Every structure is written in C-alpha cells, then in structure tokens.
Structure 1
Amino acid sequence: MTNNLDVPEHLDTGTTPDEFAGFDDLPAVQKAGTDDGPRVPRFDGDVSALPDRACWALQNLLTRRYISGERTPQLWAWVAEYQEVLRSRLSELDLRLRIVDELEVAFVEQAGYDSRWGRRILKRETIQTYDAILALHLAKYLRAARDEHVLITREEIHELFAGVTNTIDRDLAQFDKRIERAIDKLEELEFLRKHRDDADTFTVSPVISAVMTASVITDLQRQFDQFIGSGETGDDETVASTTASDDDDPDDSDDDEGDEW
C-alpha cells in the first residue's frame, strides 16, 4: 500500500534552496547523556568521575526530603537521566534511591541490615500520634481523589479526626491544638502546602502517595486501631517515623532550585 504525501518541491527534486545552503557544514547537535566528555573541575582538588549534573542531583537527593518534577523540574530531569549511577553511589552509603515515575518523585531511604560497621547516613525523624493519624488520612484522601491537585481545608482536616474525638480526647480545646500541631508537622514534612491565597486551604502533595506505600498505610492503620482501642491521649506517643536528611536549614527558601524547600 502506497501513501501519497505532498513533498516540498526542493525535496522532491533533490535541490536545496539558497537559504539552506551550508547547513550541512554546521556541527551536529549532540544530545546530552551520561557521557558528557571532559569536564571542568568545580573546585580545587575536584576528582569526581561524574558529570556536574549527576553530582548536583546526588547532593540534592542527600539534602532534600524528596525531589519533585513539579517543584524542581531541572533536578528531576538530572535524577532521571543519571539514576543508574546515582543508585550505585547511594548504595555505597547503604541508601536506596526510590523513583516514582508517574508522580515524578524521587527520594532516598536508609537500607537496613546487620553490621557493626554500618552507619546511618539519614536521621530518623519521629512523628507523634496525631501526625501519623493525619498522614494516614491524607494518603487515603489523596488516593480516593485520583487527582493531581487535591485541596483540603483546615476544617476538613479537623473533620478527619471525627472518629477520635469522643473516644480519646474529651477536652476539645486540647484536641484541636493537637490537630493544629499535626498540620504544622505535615507542612514541615512537605506533605501539606499552604495555599498562597488562603491560609486555611492546603494542597496535599502527591509525594505522600510515594512515601506512604501500601505497607506503610497498613502498618499505620493497625497502630491507629490499637491507639483508638487503648483510649490513650497520644500526648507523647510516637507511632511512626519518616526518613529525612540532616540538613534542614529553616532559613532556606524554595525560590531557587538549589535551596531547601
């Protein structure tokens, strides 16, 4: 079967218009890859074998809670491009690279095994009972919504705790304070982002779907059920933890992709 296509006259006859003359003599554009050729040292004594972009991707993976294609597209592109060599370098530090392509999210987590010589590179960031309850409900909320941009109000967040109110906390003022502290914590963990135009409206970060895996949700649900059944107040109870980098500088801003969020 022959497809009849309209071919420009200069292509059909083999001739080249004057305005395109000499184009064949121009150097071909090479697509950037993992082999970027000779590199210029970034600093005196730089002996890295990796391209600069791979080094910067590695540094950001170690100092951010996660890298998001939505928030930092350039960093995400570098992580995706150099992911194999990054996995290898991170493995040397007993770290795993987790990439969720459909969400464009990448983060590292500590690998666990028995060794007297191994050292934990990432710190364990503890979260309290109400933080865990909110994280659990937000993960379910996001999955049920099946939308990229999920908004939730402060009032709706408080309503998520309706099942806890009468069985655990009878002091409603203290109960509300605990929920507000949980909101602050999940903002700090970057699971919630305050809406620019409304301080009482939040965007639920899709990264929570990457971090809160099915097994994590199952474990938190089990601990939540135990918490409800125990009738405890949860003042200092720690039921879960999340891995985060040690470099958490509160003075950093998210205006630039090189800064902390």
Structure 2
Amino acid sequence: MTDTTTDVPDEFAGYDDLPAVPLTSADHGPKMPRFDGDVSELPDRACWALQNLLTRRHISGERQPQLWSWVSEFADVLRVRLSELDLRLRIVDELQIAFVEQVGYDSRWGRRLLKRETINTYDAILALHLAKYMRASRDENVLVTREDIHEMFAGVSNTIDRDLAAFDKRIDRAVDKMEEMEFLRSQRDDPDTFVLSPVITAVMTASVITDLQRQFEQFISSGTEAPETDSETEADTESRPDPDESRLDTAEGADW
C-alpha cells in the first residue's frame, strides 16, 4: 500500500482542523468596476438585482428568470442594503416572486423612497375579488373573462354608479390597471379573457385581503361615495385620479 501522506510544514500544521469559513454571496472573485469611480462592494449581479428591485413592481422567476436567480443568490446582502433605506425585501419562493415594500415608523428624518401606486376604489375592489378568486381555484392557470369581472361588481351600489355606462367604464379602467400591474394578462387570441398572475397571490397577503374586505363591506353598505384620500408621496409624479373617483385605503405592504 502506497503512503500518500505528504509532509506539512510546522507553520501550517493543524489548519485542516480549523472550522471552514463559508463563502458569502459577495465572495465571487475579483470584481470588475462597472464604471469609472465604481466603489461598490457587491458583485455586478447583486447591484443589478438591487437596481431592478427598486425600479420594478416585482421580479418574477417566470418572466425574469435571470433577475430572479440573482435575487435568490444575493438575498441576504440585498436585505441589508434595502433595510438601510427603510425597505423590506419580500420573497415568495413557492411562487418565485420578489418585491420590495416600504417600512413605516415614527421619524422626522425617514423618507419614503418607493413610489406608491394610485389605487382607486374600483382597482382595490377588483384586486380583492381576483385574489379571492385565485385562492379559491385549484387550477394552475386561472382564467377569468371580462364578463366575469363585471359580474364581480354586482354588489357595488352607491351614488356615483347610477349611470350604468359610467359604471362599466370604471370597471374597464380597473381591468386596465390590473393589467398594468401584471395582476391580469390578456390572451393574444382573446383580449377579453385573462390569466391571473401569481403576483396577485404574493402581493395580496391575508392581512391585506382582510383589511380590504372590511373596507369594501363598509363602502357598499354606506350607499354613498367613499371619501377620496391622497395617494401621492414625495416621489409620486402621476396625475391624481378623476375627482369623481373614490379610493379605498390599503394596509402596509399594499403600496402596489
């Protein structure tokens, strides 16, 4: 039997007995600067993942597989960087959805960095019904038609909906908003049939659904127009909703 043992210098003796140091996500060899003056401590992929988390509503493993893989790989260090900005990283592994939400607390120095979506009452009502519709379905691909969506508003009755044409128009605008937010995806061969995106399940958590359900029940039982609230922030440059549109407040984490 051949002895393969090699002599180890005394100064290196016992090194094999030391605990291994796990590599972190940032340990990927030499980092090449992306631009003149780049002093980032993170690999390029982590920087790009961070940039996309801050500028996209969400990252989907289905639609942005490369970005999703980077978010998953560098999740720990991304959480640290985002926390420094009063932001929280949400990752729903089973749906392969990642997004960032603003964290609120009392401080006159804190600043909201995320742009809040302008969500009107009909947008919120439709998002609520779609989330419940998807949670109740056992199908992987949940389809809903425009007719189905209009039927979801059968219980809505208040002073601003006496004009049925205007009522239908508001529902269609809510559908457009859900498409813009990628909660709904229209079919190429049938623009009035939509696939529900898993994004809605990730964003519409149980607490958000419960809060919106309570507000929705108050809204339809009042029979009057809900008070309009200001949905703009320092970073919100979108135009305000139409003056005859109302809005349901949303809970923390629902700044879509």
C-alpha distance in 1, partners of 2:112/2:191? 37
1:125 is displaced (CA, Å) by 1.7
- Cα distance in structure 2, aligned partners of 1:233 and 1:179: 16
CA distance in 2: counterparts of 1:35 and 1:77, whole angstroms: 16
Residues 48-59 of structure 1: matches in 2 within 5 Å?
A: 48-59=40-51
Counterpart for residue 245 of structure 2: 236
Shift of 1:182: 0.7
- d(CA) in 1 for partners of 2:101, 2:151: 32
Post-superposition Cα deviations, 1:191-215, rounded to whole Å, max 9, x if no partner, equal 1111122111111111111111111
Residue 164 of structure 1 corresponds to: 156
Give the secondary-structure state (helix, strand or coil) at the position aligned to 2:161: coil
Deviation per residue, 1:39-76 (Å, 9 max, x gap): 11011111110011100000000000000001001100
- The residue type equivalent to 1:238 in the other structure is R
For 2:66 and 2:180, locate their aligned partners in 1 and report how far apart those are by CA, in whole Å: 23
State the partner residue of 2:203: 211
Amino acid at match of 1:39: K
Aligned partner (choices 34, 49, 72) of residue 42 of structure 1: 34
1:194 aligns with 2:186: yes
Instruction: Tell me how far 1:166 sits from its aligned partner.
Output: 8.5
Q: How many equivalent residue pairs?
A: 214
* Amino acid in the other structure paired with 1:63: T
- Asked if 2 retains the 8 angstrom alpha-carbon contact of 1:194 and 1:201, the reply is yes
**Partner SS, residue 125 of structure 1:** coil
Give the aligned partner of residue 95 of structure 1: 87
SS at match of 2:191: strand
Distance 2:108 2:162 in 1: 47
Partner of 1:67 in structure 2? 59
2:80 counterpart SS class: helix
Structure 2 vs 1, CA of residues 162 and 206 (structure 1 numbering), >3 Å: closer, same or farther? same
- Cα distance in 2, alignment partners of residues 142 and 136 from structure 1: 10
After TM superposition, give the deviation of residue 33 of structure 1 in Å. 5.2
SS of residue matched to 2:63:
coil
Q: CA deviation at 1:91?
A: 0.3
Aligned with 2:255: secondary structure? strand
Q: Which residue, 139, 144, 147 being the options, matches 2:136?
A: 144
Alignment pair present for 1:224 and 2:236: no
Aligned-partner residue type, residue 159 of structure 1? E
CA deviations on 1:114-172 (whole Å, 9 max, x unpaired) are 11111111122231111111000000001011333211111111111112258973322
Secondary structure at the aligned position of 2:45 is classed as: helix
Q: What is the alpha-carbon distance in structure 2 between the residues aligned to residue 195 and residue 164 of structure 1?
A: 27
SS at match of 2:245: coil
Query: Which residue of structure 1 lines up, in the alignment, with residue 174 of structure 2?
Result: 182
Measured in 2, the distance between the counterparts of 1:33 and 1:210 equals 25
Shift of the alpha carbon at 1:237? 1.3
* Alpha-carbon separation, structure 1, partners of 2:221 and 2:158: 12
Code of the aligned partner of 1:180: D
Opposite residue 84 of structure 2, the aligned amino acid is: E
Unaligned segments of structure 1, at least 5 residues: 1-30, 245-261
The equivalent of 2:237 in structure 1 is: none
How much is the aligned-residue C-alpha RMSD, in angstroms? Answer: 2.0
Per the normalisation by structure 2, the TM-score is 0.79
**Which residue of 101, 125, 132 corresponds with 1:133?**
125
Change (3 A) 1:124 1:33: closer
For the structure 1 residues 202 and 32, does the alpha-carbon distance in structure 2 shift closer, same or farther, using more than 3 Å as the test?
Answer: farther
Does structure 2 retain, via aligned residues, the 8 Å contact 1:169–1:233? Answer: no
Identity over the aligned pairs, expressed in percent? 75
In structure 1, distance between residues paired with 2:137 and 2:38: 48
What's the CA shift string for 1:173-205, capped at 9, x where partnerless?
Answer: 111111011111111111111112211111111
Separation in structure 2 between the aligned mates of residue 75 and residue 240 of structure 1, nearest angstrom: 31
